[in-house]
Structure 1
Amino acid sequence: MGNTDRGKVWLAVSGLVISEDGKWLVVKKKYGGLKGKWSLPAGFVDQGETVDEAVIREVAEETGIHCNIKGLLGVRTGVIKSEISDNMLVFLLEANAGQEIQVQTNELYDVKFMLPDELKKEKDASILLHYLLDSPISTIKELQDGINPGDQFGYTAYKLFF
């Protein structure tokens, strides 16, 4: 939650989880610019993890829902107060079957699955959520793993989304 130790370049991840019956997993945050708004589960990438590992961890921590990566939907990037580079990768995720939502109450007011039509009418939905609701989810970049760019780099993890 505290961004003071993140320096001036932030890397965050967010996950769009769509249930088998077409509902979207949304969270209502207790802090920050999205306080009191419905948005996608999201958080910062930690040291020593890849972006796909980070989004799976964040969604599980915030909602109790464990997921698999379907692919990369896109990137949100901006600059805050002409100084902080704020970058977020948005992934499409698939929830593992038969799970109950568990709200991370220290960070969130609520978590629920909502139909896109319900979310479109929700005045408290984030701008990004409204944008995603109005855009067809067509091209996703799928995870490519098991590629070695060369031992000279010393990667312990190396993944592509193309």
Structure 2
Amino acid sequence: MASSKRGNVWLGASGLVINSNGEWLVVKKRYSALKGMWSFPAGFVDAGETVDMAAIREVKEETGIDCRIEGLIGFRTGVIQGEISDNMAIFLLSALDEKQQLIPQLEEISEVAWRSPFALKEDRYTSIMLKEMAETIIEKGLPEIVDINPGDRFGYTTYKLFFDK
């Protein structure tokens, strides 16, 4: 199942960008198990870049928004079908210009939007990870989230989210 380019250990980066209205920058993917679902801009770390550089690059590529790192807020780790170690660092980012035009990367992204965590929590097209984060952040801030299932379509045999409290 593993991509020959990535092997059996994957490292991704993602960014939670929050604007001055408390809305989150989210995308709808055109592919994968997240197709048609709201999720954070995210992707794999490329050779020659750090994980934080990858988060900034992915947000820019998928949304058109330039950002800066505010800090690491979480780490998602899982094992897909008992074989692939799938890991993602989740950073808190701030937009350099909130009024910058949203531009979806049309090959991968069907829609980009600023959405409130309250709306995302209730939207059936919100990814499980985003929904859990929205619910938890609304209620408690940024604690650890455990004992969740992101959905059978991913094939995770193990799945955990860790957030800074």
User: What is the TM-score when the length of structure 1 is the normalising length?
Assistant: 0.81
Q: CA RMSD in A?
A: 1.4
Return the alpha-carbon distance in structure 2 between the equivalents of residues 90 and 135 of structure 1: 15
Which residue of the partner structure matches residue 151 of structure 2?
none
Which residue of the partner structure matches residue 159 of structure 1?
none
Residue by residue over 1:49-104, the C-alpha shift from the partner in whole angstroms, topping out at 9 and shown as x without a partner, is 00110000000000000101010111100111111000001111001123111110
- Give 1:71's aligned amino acid: G
Structure 1, unaligned runs of 5 or more: 140-162
Aligned-partner SS, 2:5: helix
- Give 1:72's aligned amino acid: L
Which residue of the partner structure matches residue 48 of structure 2?
48
Counterpart mapping for 1:100-115 below 5 A: 100-115=101-116
Return the alpha-carbon distance in structure 1 between the equivalents of residues 49 and 18 of structure 2: 24
Aligned-partner SS, 1:110: strand
Which residue of the partner structure matches residue 26 of structure 1?
26
Residue by residue over 1:100-142, the C-alpha shift from the partner in whole angstroms, topping out at 9 and shown as x without a partner, is 1111011011000011111111101001001110123447xxx
Return the alpha-carbon distance in structure 2 between the equivalents of residues 3 and 63 of structure 1: 26
Structure showing greater radius of gyration is: 1
Return the alpha-carbon distance in structure 2 between the equivalents of residues 32 and 107 of structure 1: 10
Structure 2, unaligned runs of 5 or more: 144-165
User: What is the TM-score when the length of structure 2 is the normalising length?
Assistant: 0.80
Does residue 120 (structure 1) correspond to residue 121 (structure 2)? The answer is yes
Return the alpha-carbon distance in structure 2 between the equivalents of residues 105 and 131 of structure 1: 27
